[in-house]
C-alpha cells in the first residue's frame, strides 16, 4: 500500500540545477532532499520554469521485488518514464516489465502526446517515488526532434519546433507571422515552410535562401522601434531577439496592449545572472506559459495563446 505523504518533485533541466534551486527558493518552496537532478518537496506543485519536468502528487511505494514494483506502477496507469540516477540496474529491470513507451524522435509538425506519462525513480532499492501526473509529455522532459541538416541556416529552428510541439498548435497556411530578431532565418524558415506569411525583422539580412521563400518579407529595422500600427494584426508574434528580459517584456506588453496579436512565442535570454524576477513577470501574464525547453540554452520560452481551448 502507498504511504499517504504527498510530495512534489522537480526535475532540473541538465546543467540548470542552480537556476531551478534559485527559482524554487524565490517561490518559497522548501526542498527537503535532492536525488540526482530531482528536487523533492512537500506541498503542492508550483509551475516553475526551470524544471524539465514536475512530478505532481507523488506516492512513495515499497519495492518488495521487481515484479511487485512493476505491477504497482501498472495498476496506476500504462505509461511510465524512469529516472534512475541511483540503483540504475534494479530500476531498469522494473522498467523492462512496464509497457513500452515510444521514445522515437519526433518529426515536425507533430503535437506532443496527450496520453498521461508518469515518472518514477528508486529512492532506495526497496522504495520508489512515483507520480502519475507530470508537467512534461516527454520522458524526463527530453524530446528528440528529427533534424533537418539542409534547409535551415541555423540550429535555432529546433527550439521553435519544440515550442510548437508543446503548444500542440502551429501557424497555418496563410496566417500572418511577425518574426523579430529573425536573422539568419531559422525561425522564418520554419514558418514559411508551414505556408505562413512572415514579416521578418532584423537589422541584419536573412540568409538569401530563406529570403527567397514564398511569403517572406524582410524589414531591416529594430524590433523595438517597430510601431505595431505599421505592421497591423498578426496571428503570431515570434521573438528570438538577443536583449535583456525586461526589454522583451516591455515589447510584449506593448504588442498586447495594441490588441493586434493572437499568439506569442518568445525566447527570454539571459546573460550572466538569471533574471528570475522578469521571468516571473512573464509567467504572471494571463494565459502565459514559461518553460525551459529541451533545446533551450540559458534561456526560457514564453508562450501566450489567446485562442479558445487553451
Ligand atoms: C539568436 S539570433 C536569432 C536567430 C533566429 N531566430 C534564427 O532562427 O535564425 C538573434 C538575432 O537578434 C537580432 N537582434 C538583436 N537586436 C535586435 C533588435 N533591436 N531588433 C531586431 N533584431 C535584433 C540579431 O541581429 C540576431 O540576428
Instruction: Choose among 14, 10, 16: nearest CA to 48.
Output: 10
Please tell me the predicted confidence (pLDDT) of residue 156: 98
Please tell me the predicted confidence (pLDDT) of residue 102: 83
Any ligand 1 atom below 6 A from CB of 191: no
Q: Is the pLDDT of residue 180 over 70?
A: yes
List the catalytic residue out of 71, 149, 269, 297: 269
| Topology match between the domains 7-141 and 157-305 | no
* Rounded Cα gap, residues 226 and 229, in angstroms: 9
Q: Is the pLDDT of residue 306 over 90?
A: no
Please tell me the predicted confidence (pLDDT) of residue 1: 40
pLDDT one-digit tens code per residue, 230-272: 999 999 999 999 999 999 999 999 999 999 999 999 999 999 9
* Rounded Cα gap, residues 18 and 130, in angstroms: 24
Over the chain, what is the mean pLDDT?
95
The dotted CATH code for 7-141 is 3.30.2130
Q: Is the pLDDT of residue 6 over 60?
A: no
Confidence band of 68 (pLDDT split at 50, 70, 90): very high
Q: Which three cell numbers stand for residue 9?
A: 518533485
* Rounded Cα gap, residues 166 and 187, in angstroms: 16
Any ligand 1 atom below 6 A from CB of 156: yes
How close is the Cα of 182 to the center of ligand 1, in Å?
5
Top mutation candidate among 147, 158, 183 for ligand 1, by most atoms within 8 Å of CB: 183
Q: Does domain 157-305 have CATH number 3.30.300.130?
A: no
Q: Can you tell me the mean pLDDT for 109-134?
A: 97
- Domains of the chain, by residue range, sit at 7-141, 157-305
- By the 8 A CB rule, do 153 and 169 touch? no
% of the chain at pLDDT higher than 90: 94
203 is catalytic: no
Amino acid at each position: 500500500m502507498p504511504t499517504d505523504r504527498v510530495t512534489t518533485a522537480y526535475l532540473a533541466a541538465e546543467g540548470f540545477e542552480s537556476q531551478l534551486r534559485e527559482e524554487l527558493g524565490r517561490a518559497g518552496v522548501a526542498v527537503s532532499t535532492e536525488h540526482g537532478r530531482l528536487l523533492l518537496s512537500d506541498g503542492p506543485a508550483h509551475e516553475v520554469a526551470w524544471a524539465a519536468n514536475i512530478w505532481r502528487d507523488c506516492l512513495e511505494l515499497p519495492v518488495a521485488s521487481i515484479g511487485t514494483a512493476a505491477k504497482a506502477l501498472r495498476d496506476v496507469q500504462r505509461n511510465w518514464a524512469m529516472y534512475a540516477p541511483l540503483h540504475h540496474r534494479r530500476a531498469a529491470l522494473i522498467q523492462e516489465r512496464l509497457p513500452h513507451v515510444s521514445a522515437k524522435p519526433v518529426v515536425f509538425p507533430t503535437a506532443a502526446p496527450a496520453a498521461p506519462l508518469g515518472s518514477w525513480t528508486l529512492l532506495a532499492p526497496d522504495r520508489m517515488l512515483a507520480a502519475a501526473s507530470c508537467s512534461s509529455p516527454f520522458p524526463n522532459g527530453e524530446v528528440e526532434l528529427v533534424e533537418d541538416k539542409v534547409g535551415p541556416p541555423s540550429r535555432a529552428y529546433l527550439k521553435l519546433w519544440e515550442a510548437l510541439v508543446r503548444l500542440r498548435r502551429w501557424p497555418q497556411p496563410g496566417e500572418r507571422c511577425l518574426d523579430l530578431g529573425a536573422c539568419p532565418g531559422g525561425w522564418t524558415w520554419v514558418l514559411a515552410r508551414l505556408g505562413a506569411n512572415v514579416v521578418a525583422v532584423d537589422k541584419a539580412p536573412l540568409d538569401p535562401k530563406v529570403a527567397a521563400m514564398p511569403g517572406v518579407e524582410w524589414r531591416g529595422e529594430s524590433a523595438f522601434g517597430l510601431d505595431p500600427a505599421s505592421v497591423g494584426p498578426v496571428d503570431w508574434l515570434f521573438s528570438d531577439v538577443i536583449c535583456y528580459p525586461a526589454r522583451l517584456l516591455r515589447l510584449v506588453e506593448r504588442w498586447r496592449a495594441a490588441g493586434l496579436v493572437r499568439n506569442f512565442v518568445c525566447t527570454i535570454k539571459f546573460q550572466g545572472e538569471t533574471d528570475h524576477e522578469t521571468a516571473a513577470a512573464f509567467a504572471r501574464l494571463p494565459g502565459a506559459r514559461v518553460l525551459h525547453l529541451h533545446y533551450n540554452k540559458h534561456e526560457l520560452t514564453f508562450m501566450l495563446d489567446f485562442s479558445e481551448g487553451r
